[in-house]
Structures are given as structure tokens and as C-alpha cells.
A and B are shown apart, each in its own frame.
Chain A
Amino acid sequence: MKRRAIATIATGVIALATALTACSAPITDSPQASASGSQSGTSTTPARALRVWAGSTTPISVDFNPFHVDTALYGTYGPIYEPLFFFNQLSADAAKPLLGDSYEFSSDGKTITIKLKPNLKWSDGQPLTADDVIFTFGYGPNKTDQLLSATAPDATTIVLKYSKPQFTSAPQLLGATMIVPKHVWSKISDYQAQTNAKPVGSGPYTVKTTSDASYTFTFNTNFRDPAPAVTEVQWIGLDSNQSGQDMLSTGQIDWTGMFIANPDSVTGTGAISTMNQQQDPTVVVTCANAAKGCKGAQTDPAVRQALNLAIDRPALAEKAWAGLVGQANPAFVLLPRDQQWLTDQSLAASPQAANIAQAEQILQAAGYTKDAKGFYGKDGKQIDLDLFSPDGWTDYNDAAKLIAEEAGKAGIKVTARTVSEAEYWTPVTNGDFQLAMYGLTQSIVADPYSNYEQYFSGKSTANVGDAPGHGQNYSRYANPDVDAAIQAAAATNDPAIKKTEYAKIQAQIATDLPYIPVVLNASQAFYNTKDFTGWPTDANLYADPLPYISVAPELILLNLKPAG
């Protein structure tokens, strides 16, 4: 009996082996066949689906809930749900109308009057009116105490009245609030618990089909404008950048945004083009404010200034980011976009080559002396700083290591270490750290206001031990002059006044350096220019060609055309 069992296993194995080899023969060409099949298909069928990897990982969990900012699938914002206007973060141009036609602020900034385009429809055919917009502004996470009233004098006009000036909130209210249909969401009490598998939106696409490996959009027959030339978009899930790069170079995906250290390896064939827009500052965030409970030598501005001078930024950019990053500046404006808001041109870039002599000078002037080991200290206490980054974020890890080395050359002892992602966020949000590698999010409009308000305002921070309730000022920085200037800038729509207030802020934060600017992050987009035309170019940057950002992909998809 036992013999039979072994024999069965043996034959089973053989059968399996033959099955596998047998299958491997026809398999051999199948990916090639399907790839070439779909390529030749472009000439026969009107348009093949555009294939995108925006960064989704497998298995894909279907979620088109516009209120799930973190887990909603890519494409939810823009291609399906739209805000009223599109603010192009790459240019200083006026907002482009989407659902909205025009908007107007009252002179005190407390009233916004919005005009909708006429005859709008939801993807289920129901009319989209001012009623839906008013509903959206009073629903779920959009609710705010500052909104006093929302009224609709007629079906395409909305009047929003606020208790405070909203000039600086326009990008958020008009450009980032996704309008949802009242007839669907008014019936939903717990909006967080929805996965919204069949979304009813206003954008050019609706969901056609989903699986654990991909999801496909098809054009919305009720869209206000003619149907997009690219009628189908398939978004796939992948788990590693290497896979993304392989799929791109074998022609299996058409559009992605990710970091590739040697972009020539994918653009070499001529089918794929790339664009690298550097926007978001990578910084060393310091817990800067001793009054809020920060501990360590970095609470002394002199130490932060010395550290700022000790960093050899070009070397860092080359070694940690393959030279693909841009120059950061201590005024936290995006150049050349925000040129009109930069007063002191010496703040247009952070110091590039390391200046050890000047760094040491600053420390000495602040009363620090060198000890036997060559490290500076004060009152017998050596400067000993801890700099951490999440393990596996290799650019941050490498940069931290290099910064620690360079600081050492200037006599500042910095120890770089990596922590798990789980151990990274808690200390950063609670202020239980000295130095951390961190990425700030660049203001999405040509106005650095949100950078200052989010990261430098005293109102956006909290005491060490608490997470900021509003804003993301994790440095705990609080400066009454900066706060006053931020408040003054928020209350006006006059560029001249704003510019003076911004100048005050820039002077302060460039000296205090609660965030030490390192580089501007690379954000590389790769797209197939052989099969699809109409991508943004340097001459026509109508939207940022990154598939993972919100709203901009809608503009790109509407502008694309199958080649040939």
C-alpha cells in the first residue's frame, strides 16, 4: 500500500513536471504575442486602453470613496470626481474651470460667489446643480465652523459666506473639494464605511470593471464635453518600482510616475518620454522650540545655521538622488513659479558647497568650543544630535548618512539611524525627536501661503507630546512676527501687501531654519509618446503629468489622443 502511495506521488510529480513544461512551450511567446497584438490592434480598433501604474499595490481593494483621501484608488480625484476648478501647480496661470465657470471674492474675502457651467449632469444622468455643491460643502469632512451660510440664488449660482477671509483657501475650497451628488450621499450616514464601488461622478470617466490586479475606466456618456479620445484607461497594481520599470521598458504600461535613477534605460527605445518636475522640498526637520518642550542642541538656532552650512548639497544630490533633484531654498517658495513672491534674491537657493569655516565661526560666536575629539560643545556638553529616517526609504537613509558625515567635518556630532516606518511617524508627530529627514508638500498654487501656514505658523503646532490638531508644523516653531505676517497675508488680496508680509516671513525662517532645506524632490513621470500624443511639454505645461496626484490626471487624459 505504501509503495502505491509513493508511486502515485512519483507519477504525480512527473505529470506535474510535464504539465509545466508542456505549458511553458506555448507560453513562451504569449506575453509577446499579446503585447504585439495590442499594439497592432491600435490601427484596427479605434483606441486601445491607456495602461497606467500610478503606484497602486496588489491586491487592489476597490475603493472610489472621495472621502478616503488615503485609500481611494488613483483616478478617483479628477477622472471620476471633480472639484469646481483646476489649479495648475506648475504655473501661475488662473484656475481652469471644471464644473465651475467663474468665481468671485467679495472685497473682504468673506463671501465667494461661484457660477456653475450650464446643463451639467452626473454620470447616472441626473442633473448636477448648485444644490449638489451646497450639499458637498456641508457634508462630512468638508464641514467647517467658518462657513456661515451657503445659498443658491439660482440653479447655477452658489454664494458661500464665511466668518473669516478665504482668499488663501481658494485652492482648497475650489480646487480640492470634490463635488459629490446629493441624491447619492444624502442617503449615506457613515460616509467613512463606504467603498463606493460604483461611483456616480461628474468627470470624464466611470468605472467599467475591477479586479484584484487592475481596474478599468471607460468614458462617461453624460460628460459635459465631447468624449475623451482615450476612451478606456486601465490602472494596474504593482508591488515594486523594478516591476514598473520592466513593464515600462517592455511596452506593457504607458504612463507612470516613479523614481528611476537611470531614466535613459527606459527612454532609450524612443517610445517612452520623461519629465522631471522638482517641487516638494526634502528637509531635515528639527524639533526647534525649547519653549514647546523640544530637547537637544538643535533648539539653538546657531546649531541649525551651522548644520545648514555644513551640508554639501551638490554631493548629496549626486550620491543620494542620482543628480535628479533640484535646488531647495530657505524661503520655501517654488522657483521660478513663485518668483513674484520672493523679495530677497539671496534666498533663492540654499548654500550649495559646504562652508565649514563659516559653520565653525557661527558656533564659536555662539559660545561653543571644540573638545579633544574635535566636536563642538557648550558648558562641557558636547553637541550630540540624532537624525533618523524610515528604513527602506533609501534616498533619505543615504542622505542622512552623508549629512551626519558632513556635519562631523564641521565639528557637529550627528548620528544617523534608521527606524521602521511604524516608529517614524509617532515621534515626528509628537515632537519626540531631534532631527528627522522629512518631506514637505509644496503649495499647489503659485503662492507659498500654504507652506508658511502649514509648516511655520505657531497655530499649526502643539506642545511636545501632542500631535498638532491643525497644520503640520512638526518643528514646533513659533515666532510671533511670522504668525502676524501669516495672518496679515491671509486677510488681503492685494499682491503688494502680501509680498511685504511674505518678505518678513522669509527673512525670519531663513535665519531660524526650523526646517533645514536639503533638495527639491525629483518627481519623474514616464509616458508613451509613440502610441499617445498630447502629453504636457516644457512649452505647454497644462498639468503635471504625474498619474498619482489629484485632479491633474483628468486634464491629461482629456488632452491625450491615440497616435496614428
Chain B
Amino acid sequence: MRFYLRRVAFYIVTFWAAISLNFLLPRMMPGDPAAIMIGKLRRASGGRQLSDETIKGIYALLGADKSTSLWDQYLAYWVRLLHGDLGISSTRYPYPVATLIGNALPWTLFMVGLATVISFALGIGIGAWVGWRRGTWVDQLVPATSLLQSIPYFWLALVLVAIFSVQLHWLPIVGAYDPFTYPSGPQASWAFAADTIVHAFLPAVTIVVSSVGGWLLGMRNMMVSTMSEDYVLTAEAKGLTPRRIRDRYAARNAAIPSLAGFSIALAFVVAGSIVTEQVFSYPGIGKLMIQSVQGLDYALMQGVFLVITLTVLAANFLMDLFYGLIDPRVRTNG
């Protein structure tokens, strides 16, 4: 019980620190968002004089930070947060941050989430097999997948698009669905669901290809070290079938460290994949993040970081509890 209480207390402190950091970070960034917006407006309006009313409005919207103290802003930030109000985006004014995140999150969860699960499952499965048959030709898979991982992601994605979408016309170039077939947006139909899978395929494949190597390497090495454990030797001595030893004794124990990594990876799914979403014009969270940083959209930045922080914390917490369950050593030592 004390183990769980300690964990809970730890997470409360971490939670507070994360939220406070989330408040401070954008304010420590260089640049004045109001100057950026006015600069853009001036250029956008082609030399047209901005009225005082417009300029005042922008300062009221973005520059209020100047008149109130940091502490007051911090308090107001907590009050708003506890009311579930994430503020209004300035780059996509007047849309509320919560709406923007709410629209982007499902796409990211679907595409990046699926890719992460597939990558993990493939990596663990193949890793266990490679580790079991260590020293044979299958070991070549380790450098091969690492090589794939070391290819710059951006380049890999562009090459795949150039081959499969532009040259062969097999897969769509961009988007989460076909805007020409569905000009009014998502529909609740099987055809639409199939369309989203088609569109998620190539981005997901690029993520899997570039990340499976890490899982594979980790699992293979754990597998090798687990197989030198005494209990594996004992199992062999008992005359169990090699398959049983591999699946029930070695692989299960070797997968434990990877599971921890997997929980973090799952949590980071909500952060989206900035480059993937950019290359494929996929409407996910990563894009909101980069747009908010570029446009100094504090509210949107904080909202995105908050969602990521909370998910990572929650995933860690669950994994802590889960770990205590599957590995009693953690409970007594921790």
C-alpha cells in the first residue's frame, strides 16, 4: 500500500511541476506575438494601413501579458485550467484551443497510434526470434533494420511518396481522407473508413519502417541475456520443448523492459509525428504544435503541451502500477 501512496504523491508533485513549467516555457521564448501578428497583417493587407482599432485589438488579445504581473497570469492560468478552458488560439483566431486539439487528436491517435502498436509488435516478435537464433544469419536483421532507422525520416517519406503515390498511383499523396470524394468532411460510412485506412497506410508504414529497428534491437539483446539465465538452463534441463522455453520462459521476461518503453511511446503518440504530418498533410496534433511554436501562439502551445504532459504522466502512472503487478521486485524495492 505504501508503495502506491508514494507513487501517487510523486505523481501529484510531478503534475504540478509539469503544469507550472508548461506555463513558463512559452513565456521564456524570444519574440513578441503581437509584433509577429501585426507584421503578418501588414504584409497580408498589402500595405494597407491598419486601423488603430485593429492594432489595439491585437494587443488586447496577445499583449495583455505586459500589463499584468507574471504571478497574476499564473493564478489566472490555473483558474482557467481548472475550468477546462484552454484559451483561444491566436494563429487560428477566434477558434478555441480545445476545439482545435479535439479535432486533431483522433487523427493522430488513429494513424500514429496504430503505427506505434504495429512497430512494437513487429519489433518484439522479430526481436525474440532473432535473439533465440542468435549467431545465425537472422542476426543480419539487426543492422538491416538499424540502417532503415538511420535513414533521415523526411527523405524516406518523400521517396516513398514519389514512388508509390506519384509514379505508381497506388496510394494517395496527402491527407487523412480524399477531399475530392468527401468535400464535406468525415462521414459515418464504410467507404469513408476504408478511405481513411488507405490514406493512413503510407504515413504509418514510414513510421513503422523507421522505428521498428529500435524495438527489435532492444528485444533481441534482452532475449540473448535472458537465455543465459539459470532458469532457462533449468527449463532446458527439465526437457521442455525449445518452443515452450522460448515463448514462456525467455521471451516473456525479455519483453518486460520493452514494455516500459512501449508505455512511453504510446503516451507520446498524442504528440503526433511532426514530420509525418507535415509531409503527408495529415491533420494531427504535431502540426498544431509546430504551427503554434512558429506563430508564437501561447494558448495553443500550452494546450498541446498540456495534453502531451498529462498523457505521458498518466501512461507512466499506469505502467508503474502495472509493473508492480507483473514484477513484485519493483514493489518491495521501490
> Looking at the complex, which one of B39, B53, B171 makes contact with A27 (CB distance below 8 Å)?
B171
A176-B48, A470-B49 in contact; A426/B183 too (CB < 8 A)? Answer: no
Min C-beta distance of B88 to chain A, whole Å: 9
Q: Which residues of A contact B50 (CB under 8 A)?
A: 141
> Across the interface, do A212 and B294 meet the contact criterion of CB distance under 8 Å?
no
> Across the interface, do A9 and B198 meet the contact criterion of CB distance under 8 Å?
no
> Across the interface, do A240 and B166 meet the contact criterion of CB distance under 8 Å?
no
Q: How far is the CA of A439 from the CA of B42 in the complex (A)?
A: 12
Q: Does A454 contact B (CB under 8 A)?
A: yes
Residue interface bits A15-46, CB-to-B below 8 A is 1, else 0: 01101100110111111101100100000000
Min C-beta distance of B291 to chain A, whole Å: 7
Q: How far is the CA of A249 from the CA of B165 in the complex (A)?
A: 11
Q: Which residues of A contact B194 (CB under 8 A)?
A: 23, 26-27
> Across the interface, do B94 and A16 meet the contact criterion of CB distance under 8 Å?
no
Min C-beta distance of A180 to chain B, whole Å: 15
Q: How far is the CA of A330 from the CA of B280 in the complex (A)?
A: 42
> Across the interface, do A425 and B186 meet the contact criterion of CB distance under 8 Å?
no
Q: Which residues of A contact B46 (CB under 8 A)?
A: 176, 441, 444, 550
Min C-beta distance of A390 to chain B, whole Å: 9
Q: Which residues of B contact A193 (CB under 8 A)?
A: 94
Q: Which residues of B contact A176 (CB under 8 A)?
A: 45-46, 48
B-side interface residues, number (CB < 8 Å): 83
> Across the interface, do B41 and A59 meet the contact criterion of CB distance under 8 Å?
no
Q: Which residues of B contact A34 (CB under 8 A)?
A: 178, 180-181
Q: Which residues of B contact A136 (CB under 8 A)?
A: none
A211-B184, A467-B38 in contact; A243/B121 too (CB < 8 A)? Answer: no
**Considering only CB atoms, which chain A residue lies closest to B294 in the complex?**
A421
> Looking at the complex, which one of B47, B55, B104, B169 makes contact with A31 (CB distance below 8 Å)?
B169
A31-B172, A58-B283, A422-B31 in contact; A141/B54 too (CB < 8 A)? Answer: yes
Min C-beta distance of A7 to chain B, whole Å: 10
Q: Does B141 contact A (CB under 8 A)?
A: no
> Across the interface, do B179 and A214 meet the contact criterion of CB distance under 8 Å?
yes
> Across the interface, do B179 and A234 meet the contact criterion of CB distance under 8 Å?
yes
Residue interface bits A356-381, CB-to-B below 8 A is 1, else 0: 00000000000000000000000000
Q: Does B263 contact A (CB under 8 A)?
A: no
Q: How far is the CA of A9 from the CA of B117 in the complex (A)?
A: 10
Interchain pairs with CB closer than 8 A, number: 217
Min C-beta distance of A384 to chain B, whole Å: 22
> Across the interface, do A243 and B174 meet the contact criterion of CB distance under 8 Å?
yes
Min C-beta distance of A273 to chain B, whole Å: 20
Of A63-71, A305-313, A485-493, A496-504, the stretch lying at the interface with chain B is A63-71
> Across the interface, do B165 and A234 meet the contact criterion of CB distance under 8 Å?
no
**Considering only CB atoms, which chain A residue lies closest to B181 in the complex?**
A34
**Considering only CB atoms, which chain B residue lies closest to A144 in the complex?**
B51
Min C-beta distance of B293 to chain A, whole Å: 8
> Looking at the complex, which one of A29, A194, A236 makes contact with B179 (CB distance below 8 Å)?
A236
A68-B93, A195-B95, A243-B174 in contact; A16/B283 too (CB < 8 A)? Answer: no
For residues 430 through 480 of chain A, which have their beta carbon under 8 Å from a beta carbon of chain B? 430, 439, 441, 443-444, 450, 454, 467, 469-472
> Across the interface, do B121 and A239 meet the contact criterion of CB distance under 8 Å?
no
Q: Which residues of A contact B177 (CB under 8 A)?
A: 213
Q: Does B28 contact A (CB under 8 A)?
A: no
> Across the interface, do A471 and B49 meet the contact criterion of CB distance under 8 Å?
yes
Q: Does B220 contact A (CB under 8 A)?
A: no
Min C-beta distance of A187 to chain B, whole Å: 17
Residue interface bits B241-262, CB-to-A below 8 A is 1, else 0: 0000000100010000000000
Min C-beta distance of A17 to chain B, whole Å: 8
Q: Does B209 contact A (CB under 8 A)?
A: no
> Across the interface, do A28 and B36 meet the contact criterion of CB distance under 8 Å?
no
> Across the interface, do B103 and A247 meet the contact criterion of CB distance under 8 Å?
no
Min C-beta distance of A214 to chain B, whole Å: 4
Q: How far is the CA of A58 from the CA of B287 in the complex (A)?
A: 8
For residues 13 through 39 of chain B, which have their beta carbon under 8 Å from a beta carbon of chain A? 29-33, 35-39
Q: Which residues of B contact A58 (CB under 8 A)?
A: 175, 281-283, 287
Q: Does B142 contact A (CB under 8 A)?
A: no
Q: How far is the CA of A34 from the CA of B52 in the complex (A)?
A: 50
> Across the interface, do B171 and A70 meet the contact criterion of CB distance under 8 Å?
no
Q: Does B279 contact A (CB under 8 A)?
A: yes
The 10 closest A-B pairs by CB, nearest first: A211-B185, A422-B31, A214-B179, A213-B179, A59-B283, A239-B281, A141-B51, A32-B169, A27-B198, A425-B39
Other than the known A238-B174, A472-B42, what 4 A-B pairs have Cβ atoms closer than 8 Å? A6-B252, A16-B118, A240-B281, A429-B38
